[in-house]
Structure 1
């Protein structure tokens, strides 16, 4: 009987210790903000669920951190203000790590990189992607992005037209209302493979300008949230090492997007 009593006491002590540890280290709960309109990185699927490379990477990072994560969508122009106001804890939405963005948010290490490019209609007579090639031409781009800032800084002799989502410039280019459109190569390539994108072709790629295009896409958090940045960075390193990143990468791309 004494042995049974001792066993019960030990079990009770272990249960109490486990409970105390759990209470001291509560589960990490995070809300992730994303645009949901930037395929193949983030978009809303036919069933209403969020899909894409950003979403899969975010889920993998949350699993690595042991975090309970929920996702919300937010229009691109308002995504940083929404983070700052506390609507969500992090942005996983292909946001470029630029000096301008760093004034408003803190970033993790880059989790992918992409080269900017220009697309045109298949019947276009444009010969190159340089600013002089685009003189007097209409150039569509998603607003409030590295591409719109680059276009305004470098293509001063062009008519720059900005759109709230990529669907806007895709439609106008297909309908002949634009001469060209600029975005990341991967986003443009993805569109060109769709039925709607059969109107158009890749004209060429642009050498990235680090000062305007940044240092790749990172996860943004509120200024000063160093602990969350460190958690995400550790998780990024872990999924790069354990093969999870490659599995997700290969689901969407036939090259390593980490170092595009």
Structure 2
């Protein structure tokens, strides 16, 4: 009799557990999100994409994009912000429904489903002026700053294991290490470097070596949340081209502010000096004639 009761109790517990698991896995409808909203995790130190401004509020391109998406869909949004590794952890543990924007990787795809691209950018190798290494050997012989857990960090691990990576928790810390001569170089998205260098008035401290990789920034949702992913993509599609351009022009460098390559930094002044010498020689000969 006791065995039967025990088996019955065990059966009921297992049944209840399975039912709860099924309920948790059931996709939430649009009505659910309209009523309850979504939680979006974002970085607090990734200018111009997302950061905490002087007023204490979140600002940046991705913040503008999600506010626009909320207006288009009517779905309320709540932001939480952390350092980069913390944003990924929030997606792993289910604290957030959405990641504001990140690059695709096989490792991240294990716990995130990716949506449409929000922005295209490139990771660039930047060399500190006066470093003991040059663009050709910066990765193999220099110290290279990266944000821990970022795409440049993952990329160097996979394709340049010889690189002496120096990891930092935030973009500002990584850029400052290069500007302050603690590291020789940095791999980073160029707009993020420019924002920090301008803040510190140190735009003459570095030169651009080369582009390391091209990537698209995607929205990320919890793995398996297909209904939410569809809602996200539908809402993003409602933002017209003019709205996208206005948001991009507010936060990103214009064409005439594109990075000058390291060879340009050295060659252009040399050519100018050579032209000046030629001009002086011509003038001297004319005076003698």
Instruction: Give the shorter-chain TM-score range.
Output: 0.7 to 0.9
Q: Which residue of 2 aligns with 1:231?
A: 231
Q: Is the 8 A contact 1:189 1:202 kept in 2?
A: no
1:109 matched to 2:101? The reply is: no
Deviation at 1:195, TM superposition (A): 2.2
Q: Is the 8 A contact 2:40 2:77 kept in 1?
A: yes
1:153 matched to 2:144? The reply is: no
Deviation at 1:25, TM superposition (A): 9.0
Q: Is the 8 A contact 1:27 1:66 kept in 2?
A: no
Q: Which residue of 2 aligns with 1:52?
A: 60
Q: Which residue of 2 aligns with 1:189?
A: 194
CA displacement 1:166-214 (0-9 Å, x = unmatched):
1222222122111111111221232233325335223223242xxxx7x
**What CA distance in whole angstroms lies between the structure 2 residues aligned with 1:71 and 1:162?**
26
- Structure 2 vs 1, CA of residues 137 and 63 (structure 1 numbering), >3 Å: closer, same or farther? same
Q: Which residue of 2 aligns with 1:164?
A: 169
Q: Is the 8 A contact 1:174 1:196 kept in 2?
A: no
**What CA distance in whole angstroms lies between the structure 1 residues aligned with 2:32 and 2:159?**
54
CA displacement 1:120-151 (0-9 Å, x = unmatched):
323336442x5x44332111111111101222
**What CA distance in whole angstroms lies between the structure 2 residues aligned with 1:184 and 1:24?**
37
Deviation at 1:223, TM superposition (A): 0.8
Q: TM-score, normalised by structure 2?
A: 0.71
In the alignment, structure 2 segments of 5+ residues that lack a partner are 1-30, 256-289
Q: Secondary structure at the match of 2:113?
A: strand
Choose 1 or 2 for highest CA Rg. Answer: 2
In the alignment, structure 1 segments of 5+ residues that lack a partner are 1-22
Q: TM-score, normalised by structure 1?
A: 0.78
Deviation at 1:251, TM superposition (A): 1.1
Q: Which residue of 2 aligns with 1:252?
A: 251
Q: Which residue of 1 aligns with 2:273?
A: none
More helix, by proportion = 2
